[in-house]
Each structure stands twice: as structure tokens, then as C-alpha cells.
Amino acid sequence: MRAAVLHTFGDDLAFEEVSLEAPDPDEVVVRTVASGVCHTDRTMQKGANPLPLPLILGHEVSGVVEAVGRNVTYVRPGDHVATCASSFCGTCRWCQRGALQHCENKGRSRPAGRPPRLSLDGTPVEPFVGLGGFAEQLLVHERTLVKLPQEMPLDKAALLGCAGITGLGAVRHAAQVQAGDTVAVIGCGGVGLNAVMGARLVGASRIIAIDRIPAKLDFARRLGATDTIDASRVDAVETVRELTGGGVDHAIEVVGIGPTIEQAFAMLDTMGTATVVGVAHPDLQVQIPAAQLLLEKRIQGTKMGSTRFRLDIPFYCDLYLSGRLDLDALLSRTIDLVDVNLALKDLDAPTGARTVVTF
């Protein structure tokens, strides 16, 4: 199969023929139809969190099942599916608690002693988070997949596997925003825009989108933001307080840097909650005024929107098909695999929502 392969951190991906093993009993071969280009892919390309090389990036994937191992029961050839990095084993303590995102045995690689799923001239190839979506095919554990309605457009479905479940889930599951609450979303990329849509879906009374790029704020207003703040021109915290008369019930932080995390806490009203979605550097430290905790303000994190992806993704598909979730607006453009290097570089100064590689 043809794939975009990373050999050296910081370099472009190379287009090569990668060998795919036959599926093990619990594995599935998927023909890739669409694969979103996420900022996390760009971060991994630069080597911020070094992974084994050679590496196939891409983790927002939809496609069609081509073959299944003999023990697979969830899907069969011809099924339309999406992938999720939040795969699960079903038996560890976190799966038993319903927190699949913290599963201790995600099945991202084969057990010791088995040949690797992917190889290049005899060298094992690492699929990012067990997926490797910048390729014509995937070989994955069946528990990384969710079945989709046959009528769901697969280019839109790809958006749900990371940005969708993370942004929507941060609002629904982690923050548990209630109808009538006020919400600020800091960072209006793919995940942040999904958080804006999630706040609208649950009935938030005021949704304040905050970013430094006017084009992103235009997207946010289209998707349900009632107010927008250009943080390059004004003090975001003071502006939020002025708009709301004191602060918001929820601040959803989707950037993952110290200043915005601290701003999220600072713009809360009494008993408000700041939910940090952005993936911060492991060494990052943030400071919050301890006295503010007496006002029962909270700060918390979430991983992949605390999602239950086999329940959530079909639900979001239904919302899209009924016209209640505007995934069309999130898909800024589609490209061929040969253009993926340019799309990754564009993430350094993004102006659109999501680029999707289509096969």
C-alpha cells in the first residue's frame, strides 16, 4: 500500500510502498477513505514527543472494512467505520469504570513475538497511536473501530475521530455544561470549533469564542458563538468579565499553554469550572490564585473529551444527518495524499478549520 512515511523528525514525509501483514484473529483491514490533518500530527512530525521511526502519522480516519480476523464479530467486510485513538480493552480498571480514554491495554501494537503489522523493506513501521491514517490501508485491532451509518459521508465522519469527540465531549462529558450556562472557548481550531458547537447543542445561553486569528472567529460565529474576542487586540479575561457581568460558568481551554490555561481560570465566575483540553508540554507549570478556590472555582483536565466513542460517534452522525451538527463547515478543504506535507506546514499558521486527505 502507498503511505506517507516519516523517517527523520522535522523532515517531510516520504511516499513509499509499505507492506501490510494479514490480519490476526482480532484485527481488521480497513481501506482508507479520508484522514484528517490534525495539529497533533504536526507536533509529532517535529519530534516534540519522539516515537519510533519510521512512522506513519494520521489518526482521524474513516474507511471501509476490507477483511477481518477469524475472531472479529463487531464488523464485517463492507462496513463503513471510523477510527479512534481512544481504543479500549474492556477489562482493565479504567475500562471497567467507563473511562476508556485511560485504558491500559489499547492494542495499538501486536503482542511480543508477532511480526509487526506494517513494514518497509523488512523494517517495522510504527503507525501513530496504532492507526497511521496517512496510508491507503489500516491494519488495526477491532476495538479501535466504530461502525457508521451507511449514509454518513466518510469525509465528514473522519472529523469525528479526534477533533469531534474531543471538542464535543469536553462540553458534554468533562465540563457537563447545562442549558443556560455561559461558556468561553479559548482556541478556535478544529477542537475548539467542536466545543463551540457542543455548547450550542446543550443550550448554553452565551458562547464566547476567543482566538487571535479573525478567520477562526468568523468560523466560530457561524457555528454558534454568540460573541467573539480577538485576543490579539484586547484583554480576553477583562472582556469576558465585561460581557458576562462577572465571568463565565465554564471556560474550555483548547490551546495547551500556560497563559491561556491561567486565563481560563481567571475568567470564571463564582463556582465556575475551567476545563483544559489542550495538550500541554509535560514540563509546563501554571499558577492560579489560591484565594479564588474559596469561591469554589475548579480547574480540571480531560483526555479526548472523556469520550465513549462507540456511543458518541454514531450519535454525532445522527446529529449531522438530521442537520443539527454542521460538520460541513469544519471541512475546509480536501487534498490528495501527495499534498499532505503542505497541509502539515499550513498548521503552523492555520486559517481554516480542518483539512482532510481523501483517497
Of 288, 303, 318, the one marking the end of a domain is 303
In the chain, pLDDT over 70 holds for what percent of residues? 100
Instruction: Please report whether residue 94 resides in a domain.
Output: yes
Report residue 257's pLDDT band, with 50, 70 and 90 as the boundaries.
Answer: very high
Residues 238 and 126 in one domain: no
Residues 202 and 291 in one domain: yes
pLDDT value at position 94? 94
Bond from prior residue into 54 cis (ω within 30 degrees of 0): yes
Strand partners, 209: 185, 228
More confident residue, 350 or 55: 55
Report residue 349's pLDDT band, with 50, 70 and 90 as the boundaries.
Answer: confident
Mean pLDDT, residues 247-267? 97
pLDDT value at position 112? 85
Instruction: Please report whether residue 311 resides in a domain.
Output: no
Residues 8 and 135 in one domain: yes
How many helices (H) and strands (E) are present in the chain, helices listed first? 11, 20
Q: Across all residues in the chain, what is the average pLDDT?
A: 95
Q: What CATH number is attached to the domain comprising 289?
A: 3.40.50.720
* Residue 223 neighbours by CB under 8 Å, 6+ apart: 193, 196, 197, 200, 326, 329, 330
CA 337 remoteness from chain centre: 20
Q: How far is CA 358 from CA 80, 320, 336, 345, in A?
A: 15, 20, 6, 18
Note the pTM of the prediction, 2 decimals.
0.94
- Strand spans (E) along 240-353: 248-253, 268-276, 298-301, 331-335
pLDDT value at position 353? 80
- Contact criterion met (CB below 8 Å) for 45 and 80: no
Report residue 60's pLDDT band, with 50, 70 and 90 as the boundaries.
Answer: very high
Q: Are strands 227-230 and 206-211 parallel, antiparallel or unpaired?
A: parallel
Residues 19 and 56 in one domain: yes
* pLDDT of residue 129 exceeding 90: yes
pLDDT value at position 191? 94
DSSP state of 105: -
pLDDT value at position 206? 98
Instruction: Please report whether residue 208 resides in a domain.
Output: yes
pLDDT value at position 174? 97
Burial of 89 from C-beta contacts in 10 A (0-12 / 13-18 / 19+): middle
- Contact criterion met (CB below 8 Å) for 13 and 4: yes
pLDDT value at position 211? 97
Query: Biggest alpha carbon distance in the chain?
Result: 63
- Contact criterion met (CB below 8 Å) for 138 and 83: yes
**DSSP codes joined into one string, 301-319:** E-SGGG--HHHHHHHHHHH
Residues 34 and 110 in one domain: yes
* pLDDT of residue 351 exceeding 80: no
| Distance, CA of 155 to CA of 106 (rounded, Å) | 25
Instruction: Please report whether residue 228 resides in a domain.
Output: yes
Mean pLDDT, residues 63-84? 97
Residues 235 and 343 in one domain: no
Mean pLDDT, residues 320-327? 96
Give the domain extent around 75: 2-147+326-358
Residues 179 and 260 in one domain: yes
Instruction: Please report whether residue 107 resides in a domain.
Output: yes
Tell me which residue of 201, 211, 175, 203 sits closest to 306, measured CA to CA: 175
- Structurally, the chain folds into a number of domains equal to 2
Q: How far is CA 116 from CA 26, 138, 194, in A?
A: 14, 13, 35
pLDDT value at position 259? 96
pLDDT value at position 173? 97
Report residue 263's pLDDT band, with 50, 70 and 90 as the boundaries.
Answer: very high
Residues 32 and 100 in one domain: yes
> Which cell goes with 195?
466545543
Residues 339 and 299 in one domain: no
Residues 290 and 347 in one domain: no
> Which cell goes with 269?
465566575
Q: What is the CA radius of gyration of the chain?
A: 20
The neighbour count for residue 214, using CB atoms within 10 Å, is: 13
Report residue 350's pLDDT band, with 50, 70 and 90 as the boundaries.
Answer: confident
The neighbour count for residue 262, using CB atoms within 10 Å, is: 18
Q: What CATH number is attached to the domain comprising 30?
A: 3.90.180.10
pLDDT value at position 130? 95
For the stretch 166-198, pLDDT in tens is 999 999 999 999 999 999 999 999 999 999 999
Report residue 86's pLDDT band, with 50, 70 and 90 as the boundaries.
Answer: confident
Highest mean predicted confidence (pLDDT) among 40-44, 64-68, 111-115: 64-68
Residues 263 and 353 in one domain: no
Q: At what angle do helices 258-266 and 236-244 cross, to 10 degrees?
A: 20
For the stretch 277-301, pLDDT in tens is 988 888 899 999 999 999 999 999 9
pLDDT value at position 352? 72
Instruction: Please report whether residue 154 resides in a domain.
Output: no
Instruction: Please report whether residue 313 resides in a domain.
Output: no
Q: Are strands 60-68 and 80-83 parallel, antiparallel or unpaired?
A: antiparallel
For the stretch 241-253, pLDDT in tens is 999 999 999 999 9
Instruction: Please report whether residue 195 resides in a domain.
Output: yes
H-run or E-run covering 206 = strand 206-211
Residues 141 and 178 in one domain: no
The neighbour count for residue 207, using CB atoms within 10 Å, is: 29
